[in-house]
Amino acid sequence: MNKKQIKRGVVGIIFMFLLSIILPVGQVIAQDSDYGDEYVDIIIRYKESVPEEKSLDSRFKNVHTMDILPIQTMSVPASAIRGLSLEENTRRITYDQEVSTSQSPYEVSDDDWNQTMIGTFDAWEQGYTGENVNIAILDTGFHQHPDITYAGGHSIFAEDDELGPDVWTNDHSGHGTHVAGILGAHQGTRAQGIATDADIYGVKIYHESNGDKTRVGNLLTGLNWAIQNDSDIIVISSGYPDHNQEVHDTIQAAYDQGILIFAASGNITDDNGAIDYPAVHEEVIAVSGVNQRQARVSDSMVGPENELAAPGQNILSLSPDGAYSTMSGTSQAAPHVAGIAALLMEKHPSESPDAIRQRLIEQALDLGDPGHDVLYGHGLVQFGENQPEETDPEDDTVEEPEEDEEETENVSDDDETSADTDSEAENTETDSEETADGETDPEQTNEPQDETEDAETEDDDSSSENTNENVDNNDEETLSEEEFYSNNENEIEENDDPAQHSTIWIRPSETNGVATVAQEDIEAVPNNGVLAISFDSSLGHIERISLSREQVKILKDKNVTLLVARVDLEWVIPIDNLSEGNALITFESTAQELKARAITKGKILSFGIEQEGERLTTFPSEMTYRFFTPDVEYNQDALYQWNESNEAWELLGDAYTKGGVVGVTSEVGTLAVFNPEELETAIATAKEEKVAEEEEVQENEEKEAEESEPDVVEEIETEFSEEESSGLPVVLSSVVVVLMSVTGGLYFFSGKSKD
């Protein structure tokens, strides 16, 4: 073998050695990348100060910091959420949820019927046009139409936004321009607005790449801007289905600052029959829709939160192409009420926002049942106390088309429509009724068909009670396809991410060494959601969670899954494992001496659930336990449960998700992580040691037994030896003589010869 071959061989050996080192590291990196590729939008509420954006993880994108409250919105890798929840300054983390415009597809009508219905022209005759009232509209964008003048605007999508910049004057949908036109289009134009001299600010919270969908975090950012810029009125013609505490807190801050907020109550769909957020909130004026005959539009949301009604069908306004279009929905109803509020603010400048709100209620034209009702709230909004000249309202009946044929009329300067065509059966959209991205949304395509079916039912039954019942029957909870864990089988899969809007991560408080959960956190979790109780390092000593009877009831009513999250573990508890009554959930370190304790990968934890002081032992649903230990998957460690009766560790699970090892069982007990090979070796070694110990004990016992048996011969010899030395032989001889004599006597007395 020459030197060249030797050199090649050495290089090859070195290469293989380096490869053996690099490959395991690569595997770990690959595992980490599996958890970090997907980005999710979240909202973080901090306990105290908000961290500087530059101090955050460089992977975090689209970070927006609120000035009103300690809140940040951002996009982060899904794998980072758990770590964020464990930071001491984190108060609560919610997954952002989708917000959509509250628009409904209906056909055109006469141009100014809506203005006449609410008394706009009466206000103008008195000289009120909303002057010096600042109105912020949070929407899709605001085209610089020649028939409207904006006081200013703002887009939350800056140059550094992940989706790219999107200026506020770009209305990719037409929805924002339409809403703004209802409020402030110039007097004398074809689609003249209500408060024509109000200072209108367009706040763009929808990015053109997402069409008519946005996120709650974007709504928060828009609200923050509107509050900071001295708005008198905020208009939100959008909605989302589930409660978000950060939005509510921000709205509360706006309300405390004296800002009136108007929001669309929403349009009924197959998936949602309840009034949308944020219209649900008490601080917000929820607006429902009516048609030209002052009857509820059949897809307008029904509920006790409805406060006022306004025109919401076939509303003519501005479009982004510089022309005009009609749209329908509670999106169009909300700016009508906001416009009347602006007129009243100008007319009564000394009155507080609360007083203006009360005036809106008192001056409303009562429709439906006397007083407040679920269809119209307090009634149709009015500028003046005198009711406009209208035909008698159709008591609570949902307006339906009298003709059987379907019609679609496009908008032009020469077009007119029949005044009362409610056209719920018309599935054809007008040129203004596309989705915000310019394409037909499959869900929206289905909605008019469903509304048609509802309309046909309502045509046969015109009572408001039946209408309300039909709507309420739609208000059933449905599970998201991305639900965190199934309610039927809590089996963990790699794609078991929580639904982005259904999980609330909260930091508990400590009371006498026990974790407690704030009532607002319980109420913030949506139906069928997940309450993740997260323990940061400062709470690592807490091993118990206390829930009151009322909190347990709320969680059960909302079908909320509990998730106990610590640095070292996650424990998923389906709510049906709790019965009525207060609950104590424990996950305590055990000091009990158990087999192989020395080789555990982390703590040995004992889990338990007590209710009303009684420890529960059987549960209807399986619970998921996930333990986090260093390199658990790389080391192929597994989760074990201690069997008390057999005094042995039994395998519970060896599946790996999100950096932890997972086991599923319907029991509580004592759990620990071991390496199976190490545990098997330790058990075998322990058995061998035990056998050896038993053999050694047996040998020692036998030896001790042998050593304890006396040697008779030696003892006798010893005794005789001692007797000889002590002069006992004489005495012994005497004893022998006496015994022999006695023996002879015995034989004698017995009649036996001594021979």
Provide the annotated active-site residues: 139, 175, 331
* Structure tokens that stand for 725 in this block: 């030395």
Dihedral of alpha carbons 394, 397, 401, 402, sign: negative
SS3 content of the chain, % helix, strand, coil (to 5): 30, 20, 45
Of the candidates 286, 268, 468, the residue with the CA atom closest to the CA atom of residue 368: 468
**CB of 380 within 8 A of CB of 373?**
no
DSSP string covering 430-487: -TT-S-TTSS--HHHHHHHHHHHHHHHHHHH---HHHHHHHHHTT------TT-SS-S
Amino acid (one-letter) located at 569? L
**CB of 289 within 8 A of CB of 329?**
yes
Of the candidates 542, 444, 355, 147, the residue with the CA atom closest to the CA atom of residue 534: 542
- Whole-number Cα distances in Å, 228 to 63, 304, 454, 737: 18, 31, 43, 131
Amino acid (one-letter) located at 62? N
Residues, the chain, total? 755
Judged by DSSP in three states, 656 sits in strand
| DSSP 8-state assignment for residue 403 | S
Torsions phi, psi for 256 (to 5 deg): -65, -25
Torsions phi, psi for 311 (to 5 deg): -55, 130
DSSP string covering 285-351: EEEEEE-TTS-B-TTB--STTEEEEEE-SSEEEE-TTSSEEEEBSHHHHHHHHHHHHHHHHHHSTTS
Judged by DSSP in three states, 182 sits in helix
Cα(first)–Cα(last) distance of the chain, in Å?
110
Judged by DSSP in three states, 517 sits in coil
Of the candidates 422, 202, 379, the residue with the CA atom closest to the CA atom of residue 292: 422
Taking each helix axis from N to C terminus, what angle separates 712-726 and 729-749, rounded to the nearest 10 degrees?
110
Amino acid (one-letter) located at 455? A
- Whole-number Cα distances in Å, 619 to 25, 528, 577: 42, 19, 5
What gap in Å lies between CA 73 and CA 61, rounded to an integer? 9
What gap in Å lies between CA 145 and CA 142, rounded to an integer? 8
Of the candidates 338, 135, 141, 290, the residue with the CA atom closest to the CA atom of residue 226: 135
Instruction: Please list, in sequence order, all residues whose beta carbon lies within 8 angstroms of the beta carbon of residue 368, skipping any fewer than 6 positions away.
Output: 296, 375, 376, 393, 395, 396, 464
**CB of 670 within 8 A of CB of 626?**
no
* Structure tokens that stand for 44 in this block: 């973080």
**CB of 675 within 8 A of CB of 634?**
no
538 C-beta neighbours (distance < 10 Å), count: 13
What gap in Å lies between CA 346 and CA 340, rounded to an integer? 10
Instruction: Please list, in sequence order, all residues whose beta carbon lies within 8 angstroms of the beta carbon of residue 317, skipping any fewer than 6 positions away.
Output: 177, 178, 179, 181, 182, 185, 191, 193, 324, 325, 326, 327, 332
